[in-house]
Amino acid sequence: MTTGMETGLAGFAAGLLISLVTAPVGVSGAVFLLPVQLSVLHVPNPAVTPTNLLYNVVAGPGALLRYLRQGGFDRALTRLLVLGTLPGVVAGAFLRVFALPGPRVFRLVVAAVLLPLGLWLCLRAIRPDHRIRPPLAARTVAALGLAVGTVGGIYGIGGGSLLGPILAGRGIPMATVAPAALAATFVTSIAGSATYGLIALATGGTEIAPHWVLGLLCGLGGLIGGYLGARLQRHIPERALRFLLGALAVALAVSYL
């Protein structure tokens, strides 16, 4: 695949606009970039997965830098998510290359998870539930990270698209959810990209290597959009952020169905 000027500009614009909307709620935007790459930019399978991971690696520092300056990181939560997602993304990369080349089952599973969860978040944003829920156990958070990391390794999506709605659904503030989910996505994307690169070198499979130019251009757009989106978060009410996260989850589920 060669990257023309129009394709490169389209990728840059897509990365910027998607991350601008998703960064305030802890979603890198890769989960929405995936269908754009497949349908608009025509990145073939399975190269679309490492290209999406490359986007996360380049785009991630924009939002993370802004959140670090704002001092919103929950280090304990971030550490648990990273410890779970790291082994998951490596396992997911091997599953993607050797066992699961097609995206159909993935789309159905993601839609089945995100559609009811997104609707529930939207409902709770409109009609807040003030009950106090017990915090998630450390083992539960690590197990959640492992599952999300595996899915991210298989399909190159940002784990925040799954982590965000689940953590927000437990009543964790969005100012805590967003940076932790983005940090986990960033670290696991580095590991996932490296794993795909090593598999490509070991097997000689150029079709599983990322499309570097397009991934970098999408990522540069995401770098700018993510920084601006994270900066906007403080100016958006908590209920609006929860509704936005729920609406994004519903939109993704419907598009995948």
CB 16 within 8 A of CB 218: no
The mean per-residue pLDDT over the stretch 71-85 comes to 85
Task: Give the chain's mean pLDDT.
Answer: 82
Confidence of residue 219 (pLDDT cuts 50, 70, 90): very high
CB 256 within 8 A of CB 35: yes
Q: Residue 211: what pLDDT?
A: 83
Confidence of residue 168 (pLDDT cuts 50, 70, 90): confident
Q: Residue 207: what pLDDT?
A: 66
Q: Is pTM, for the whole model, over 0.85?
A: no
Ranges 4-13, 102-111, 115-124, 184-193: which has the least confidence: 102-111
Distance of CA 109 to the CA centre of its chain: 16
In angstroms, the CA 47 to CA 212 distance is: 10
Percentage of residues in the chain having pLDDT higher than 70: 87
Q: Residue 129: what pLDDT?
A: 63
Q: Residue 10: what pLDDT?
A: 92
Confidence of residue 16 (pLDDT cuts 50, 70, 90): very high
Give the tens place of pLDDT for each residue, 112-156: 777 887 888 888 788 766 565 667 788 888 888 888 888 777 776
Structural domain count, the chain: 1
> Which domain, by its residues, includes 67?
5-256
Higher pLDDT residue, 187 or 113? 187
Q: Residue 225: what pLDDT?
A: 94
Closest to 33 in 3D by CA, of 18, 23, 20, 13: 18
